[in-house]
A and B are shown apart, each in its own frame.
Chain A
């Protein structure tokens, strides 16, 4: 079944079509959310929010872009909103973590190394360093870089999702790499 057919059937409130759509795109949406949120539970909640919005407002989708692009866009917007809302909560948690007695708790924080990845402390530490460096990047650079590196999207696809020109995406990713390099070099030099 094509996306256009799926959309038409979902507009007429066909639950089966909605299930097909969810199964087809759940991984894409979930990973897009996870790359920004870095929490399994939050990513799942936001991914569900994305599909609820899709179900409720699919009649507003004008089909000018691909369905996957539209889903990506919603996922990224919702994830960013979630991050914005939880900014203070996160700050409080980090303060709590900072003042906690056991400093090694850091490695228990949910990270992507939880599944099948090398289980060494060194690997986890490297994942943490990389995530910290990525989180410190400006918003747009982080989104573009994550989509390119983690979701393996082409520059053109990123441009479509972010509503930017191809050259802007190239520039964003280039600057993201330079900033990342700067942060990693500073980290290892000190």
Chain B
């Protein structure tokens, strides 16, 4: 049998424990909805309940104050002013960009000039070699023809020669 005083003690400790659990649950609930609380986007009944908890709970109160102060900085951050010479600087950049492009063009031409000259020289030399080679072959061919003709006429190998040989033999 539990005595009356013992039952009272159990009851008190149970109540304390229960209130502790409730408090932790409320704390969690507050932590999860802090920004909604700050922005007032929660239903009134819920937010009232949470604010009551925030007033009674030191930790949640402190946390709410800090997060609220930091989050609301967003609204107070002033927009930085733009440089009054923004367009002037932009124009300068556009012009320098054009100059840069022209400069790049000049640099490219200058760089490409020797390459073009080298290419021209190479084309000239190779075409010279090609023409020269072809001329030599033609010359060789004409020389060979002359030698053959000489042989042919000496040994009466061509038609006219054959005729001469025939006439010579018949004559004899």
Complex: A23 Cα to B53 Cα, angstroms: 51
Contact indicator B90/A51 (Cβ below 8 Å): yes
Q: Is B42 at the interface (CB under 8 A from chain A)?
A: no
Inter-chain contacts of A189 with B (CB < 8 A): 63
Instruction: Identify A188's interface contact among B66, B79, B81, B90, CB under 8 A.
Output: B66
Contact A115 B81, CB 8 Å, known A47-B86, A130-B71, A181-B67: yes
Instruction: Identify B86's interface contact among A26, A55, A129, A149, CB under 8 A.
Output: A26
Q: Is B9 at the interface (CB under 8 A from chain A)?
A: no
Q: Is A109 at the interface (CB under 8 A from chain B)?
A: no
Complex: A55 Cα to B86 Cα, angstroms: 15
Interface size bracket, A side: 35 or more
Interface on chain B toward A: helix, strand, loop, or mixed SS? helix
Tally B residues with Cβ within 8 Å of A: 28
Contact indicator A117/B76 (Cβ below 8 Å): yes
Contact indicator A184/B76 (Cβ below 8 Å): no
Complex: A123 Cα to B69 Cα, angstroms: 9
Inter-chain contacts of B66 with A (CB < 8 A): 184, 188
Q: Is B132 at the interface (CB under 8 A from chain A)?
A: no
Contact indicator A44/B86 (Cβ below 8 Å): yes
Considering only residues 22-72 of chain B, those with a C-beta below 8 Å from chain A are 31-32, 34-35, 62-63, 66-67, 69-71
Q: Is A116 at the interface (CB under 8 A from chain B)?
A: yes
Q: Is B15 at the interface (CB under 8 A from chain A)?
A: no
Instruction: Identify B71's interface contact among A48, A112, A184, CB under 8 A.
Output: A184
Contact indicator B78/A115 (Cβ below 8 Å): yes
What's the nearest-Cβ distance from chain A to residue B152, in Å? 79
Complex: A27 Cα to B63 Cα, angstroms: 36
Complex: A189 Cα to B63 Cα, angstroms: 7
Q: Is B130 at the interface (CB under 8 A from chain A)?
A: no
CB closest residue in chain B, given A31: B79
Q: Is B118 at the interface (CB under 8 A from chain A)?
A: no
Inter-chain contacts of A43 with B (CB < 8 A): 80
Contact indicator B80/A19 (Cβ below 8 Å): no
Considering only residues 1-46 of chain A, those with a C-beta below 8 Å from chain B are 19, 22-23, 26-27, 30-31, 34, 40, 43-44
Return the CB mask of A91-124 against B: 1 if under 8 Å, else 0: 0000000000000000000001111111000010
Inter-chain contacts of B133 with A (CB < 8 A): none
CB closest residue in chain A, given B71: A184
Inter-chain contacts of B94 with A (CB < 8 A): 52, 55
Q: Is B108 at the interface (CB under 8 A from chain A)?
A: no
Add 6 more A-B contacts to A30-B82, A113-B77, A185-B67 (CB < 8 A): A26-B87, A27-B82, A30-B86, A48-B86, A51-B90, A115-B80
Listed in ascending order, the chain B residues whose CB lies under 8 Å from chain A are 31-32, 34-35, 62-63, 66-67, 69-71, 73-74, 76-83, 86-87, 89-90, 93-94, 97
A-B contact pairs, 8 of them (CB 8 A): A27-B79, A52-B97, A116-B78, A126-B73, A129-B70, A184-B71, A185-B31, A188-B66
Closest 10 pairs between A and B when the two form their complex, measured CB to CB:
A188-B66, A181-B35, A126-B70, A112-B77, A184-B67, A30-B82, A48-B90, A126-B73, A177-B35, A149-B74
